Amino acid sequence: MDLIVFSIRKKPKTSMHMYNAIAQYARNQTEAFMQQHFTEAEHAFIRHEARLKDGSKAEKNRRNQLIEKQMDAVEKTREKAQERAEKLARRKAALENVTQITDPEAVTEGMKNAELDEQLEIYRSLVKQVPPKSHVPRKAQKIVALKKAIEIFNSSQNDSSDEHEGSEHEGDISSSTGREAMDGIELDH
């Protein structure tokens, strides 16, 4: 085992088949067997076979196969990402054709699950509080979630329009001097 550890520390880029050969050589006590039983012709034969194996570029081929597998995996990942992007684009295009309901009273039991899902999907992009589709599996839950989403959206629209109107009546900060504009503003450092 000392031979294996020494070989790996001294030559960390040792090829896989060389490492296996060294490990098998040490584990099977091949050196003692060779000294006891091998003739000069057998040693020459072993050296010849080792040169042939080293010349076959087995490690280079193994690394090329690994690279090919990695490239295939990358290509598959890219294809899946492209498919997801296309699916998302198709879904967005389909939602653009759907008329958005802005009145919570328009949401009724008469609506189909698919219509409710489409409306919830529209409001998911507009309101953060809309639960995911998996959390509202039943029609009654979808109706409640959609009504709540519409109310939140409408209240946020009203709030933003109130802020817009209020800012029109206030004085323009840029017209005052810089010192006056900075009064009352706390800066975080």
Q: Quick one: three-class SS letters along 119-138?
A: HHHHHHHHCCCCCCHHHCCC
Residues 93, 45 share a domain: no
pLDDT > 70: percent of the chain: 80
Residue 184 domain flag: no
Mean of pLDDT over the chain: 80
Per-residue confidence at 33, pLDDT binned at 50, 70, 90? confident
Residues 156, 91 share a domain: yes
Do the Cβ atoms of 34 and 53 come closer than 8 Å?
Answer: no
pLDDT (mean) for 43-70: 89
Per-residue confidence at 162, pLDDT binned at 50, 70, 90? low
Rg (CA), the chain: 37
Residues 97, 32 share a domain: no
Sign of the alpha-carbon dihedral angle for 161, 162, 166, 167: negative
Phi, psi of 131 (to 5 degrees): -70, 155
129 is written with which tokens?
């509080």
Residue pLDDT, tens place only, 65-119: 999 999 999 999 999 999 999 999 998 888 888 888 888 888 888 898 889 998 8
Task: Spell out a b/e string for 33-49, using b for 16 or more CB atoms within 10 Å of the CB, else e.
Answer: eeeeeeeeeeeeeeeee
Q: Helix, strand or coil for residue 85?
A: helix
Q: By C-alpha distance, which of 67, 66, 124 is closest to 95?
A: 124
- From residue 97, alpha-carbon distances to 7, 9, 111, 142 in Å are 68, 66, 17, 21
Show the beta-strand stretches assigned E in 16-159: none
Structural domain boundaries, residue 44: 2-50
Residues 101, 45 share a domain: no
Per-residue confidence at 15, pLDDT binned at 50, 70, 90? confident
Residues 160, 95 share a domain: yes
Residues 110, 40 share a domain: no
Residues 158, 95 share a domain: yes
Residue 183 domain flag: no
Residues 94, 36 share a domain: no
Per-residue confidence at 40, pLDDT binned at 50, 70, 90? very high
Residue 130 domain flag: yes
Structurally, the chain folds into a number of domains equal to 2
Residue 77 domain flag: no
Q: What's the pTM value of the predicted model, to 2 decimals?
A: 0.48
Residues 92, 153 share a domain: yes
Residues 162, 94 share a domain: yes
Q: Which residue has the tokens 């998302």?
A: 88
Residue 116 domain flag: yes
pLDDT for the residue numbered 4:
63
